[in-house]
């Protein structure tokens, strides 16, 4: 039985932002996954599936709120181990789509363990960081980075470099939030920019091509640069007010690739214009601000690190997806939370919000 006092500390602003984003995402997906309705053709299955995943996500959210987040400490390493095993399962038994082996075929469901691993990584890193007093030295930093590198390396082999980098960025954000010693910070501030260019030699050919067309999309307008060019045309053609719901020519006439997943925001920009895009961006900002408030108001280190991990999870996903849709970042296949289609991704998004709400509801009753 839950303590009724917990409900007085629910972050309602975060839940309102969550409901708005899911609703906007569903409406946008209806357009992105539909053919021209005036031709008598119905909505494709993506929209209906997303609603089903949303209902399942609501169940995950409730389950994630009921159990006190402190109990997650005991589950941190088992969840991390299970995540690594699932990634190994993908390596040997995974389903290959478009040359990438990222999914486990579970009959009617296709599970993407990469998304689930992100939850386990945040919990286990929060546990490690909460046990470390003060800023991190080299030894503590090495331990946290090693925990992140194992799943990141397995994900990069799928290949899914975008998600692998995303995990490292999330953990990096949590490390910065916890704090590092000045000597460590100065060394990293100089060393990372110097060593980063050498990563070029570890990239596959198509990944190098994506970076090159990001710098000049016209170099391969019908190949690797096609996504960026069509996305920019779609957003630019939306103008100030947009073309209207179901009236986006680039999306409805199928010029825009991956319009229901990675480039869902381009559909929104074309049909709802600058005004609609700014509104959605504002909702995302409010959403992140609510998570930030929970992070700074949490009463214990584990809760703070947990909420910080969720903050950086959403922050990087939003920044990278919008950056690649606008053509200011390379295309790396990162979905936009609540707007892009994807069952595993949506469940994880609901789970992440549940973790933050869990911390918020118990911040005033914490006992050391």
Q: Is 97 helix (H, G, I), strand (E, B) or coil?
A: strand
Query: What confidence score (pLDDT) does residue 115 get?
Result: 87
DSSP labels, 246-265? T--HHHHTT-STTTTTTTHH
Looking at residue 282, its pLDDT comes to 97
Q: Is this prediction's pTM over 0.75?
A: yes
User: What angle do the packed helices 72-93 and 113-130 form, to 10 degrees?
Assistant: 150
Q: From first to last of its 368 residues, what are the pLDDT tens digits of the chain?
A: 567 777 878 999 999 999 999 999 999 998 887 764 545 555 557 888 889 999 999 999 999 999 889 999 999 999 999 999 999 988 887 777 766 777 787 776 677 888 889 999 999 999 999 998 888 999 999 999 999 999 999 998 888 888 899 999 999 999 999 999 999 888 988 888 888 888 887 777 777 777 777 777 777 777 778 888 888 898 988 899 999 888 888 877 778 888 888 899 999 999 999 999 999 999 999 999 999 999 999 989 999 999 999 999 999 999 999 998 998 888 888 999 999 998 889 999 999 999 999 999 987 765 54
C-alpha–C-alpha distance, residues 316 and 332, integer Å = 12
- The confidence score (pLDDT) of residue 83 equals 92
pLDDT at residue number 367:
53
Beta strands in the chain (DSSP E): 95-97, 100-106, 109-111
* Residues in CB range of 367: below 8 A, 6 or more apart: none
pLDDT of residue 287: 97
- SS3 of 197-248: the string is HHHHHHCCHHHHHHHHHHHCHHHCCCCCCHHHHHHHHHHHHHCCCCCCCCCC
Cα 326 to Cα 346: distance, rounded to the nearest angstrom: 23
Which pLDDT score, from 0 to 100, does residue 203 have?
79
**266 contact partners, CB below 8 Å, separation of at least 6:** 230, 231, 234, 235, 250, 251, 256, 259, 325
End-to-end Cα distance, the chain: 22
Q: What was the pLDDT predicted at 366?
A: 56
Q: Which pLDDT belongs to residue 42?
A: 52
Q: From the centroid of its chain, how far is CA 114? A: 11
How far apart CA 224 and CA 207 sit, in angstroms, is 10
């Amino acid at each position: 039985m839950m303590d009724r006092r917990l409900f007085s500390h629910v972050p309602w602003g975060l839940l309102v932002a969550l409901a708005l984003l899911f609703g906007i995402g569903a409406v946008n997906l209806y357009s992105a996954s539909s053919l021209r309705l005036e031709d008598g053709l119905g909505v494709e299955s993506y929209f209906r599936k997303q609603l089903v995943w949303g209902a399942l996500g609501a169940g995950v959210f409730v389950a994630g709120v009921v159990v006190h987040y402190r109990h997650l400490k005991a589950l941190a390493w088992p969840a991390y181990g299970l995540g690594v095993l699932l990634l190994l399962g993908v390596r040997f038994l995974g389903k290959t789509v478009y040359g990438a082996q990222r999914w486990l075929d579970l009959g009617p469901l296709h599970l993407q363990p990469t998304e689930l691993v992100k939850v386990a990584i945040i919990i286990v890193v929060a546990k490690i960081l909460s046990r470390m007093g003060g800023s991190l030295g080299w030894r503590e930093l090495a331990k946290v980075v090693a925990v992140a590198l194992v799943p990141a390396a397995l994900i990069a082999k799928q290949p899914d470099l975008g998600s692998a980098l995303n995990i490292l960025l999330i953990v990096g954000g949590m490390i910065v939030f916890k704090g590092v010693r000045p000597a460590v910070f100065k060394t990293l501030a100089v060393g990372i920019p110097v060593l980063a260019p050498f990563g070029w030699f570890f990239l596959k050919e198509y990944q190098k091509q994506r970076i090159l067309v990001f710098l000049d999309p016209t170099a391969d307008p019908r190949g690797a640069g096609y996504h960026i060019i069509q996305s920019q045309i779609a957003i630019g053609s939306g103008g100030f007010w947009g073309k209207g719901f179901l009236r986006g020519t680039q999306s409805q006439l199928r010029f825009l690739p991956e319009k229901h997943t990675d480039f869902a925001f381009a559909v929104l920009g074309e049909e709802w214009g600058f005004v609609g895009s700014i509104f959605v961006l504002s909702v995302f900002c409010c959403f992140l601000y609510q998570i930030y408030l929970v992070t700074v108001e949490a009463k214990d280190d584990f809760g703070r690190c947990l909420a910080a991990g969720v903050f950086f999870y959403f922050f990087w996903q939003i920044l990278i997806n919008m950056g690649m849709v606008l053509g200011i970042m390379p295309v790396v296949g990162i979905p936009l939370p609540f707007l892009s289609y994807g069952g595993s991704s949506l469940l994880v998004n609901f789970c992440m919000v549940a973790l933050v709400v869990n911390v918020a509801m118990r911040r005033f009753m914490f006992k050391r």
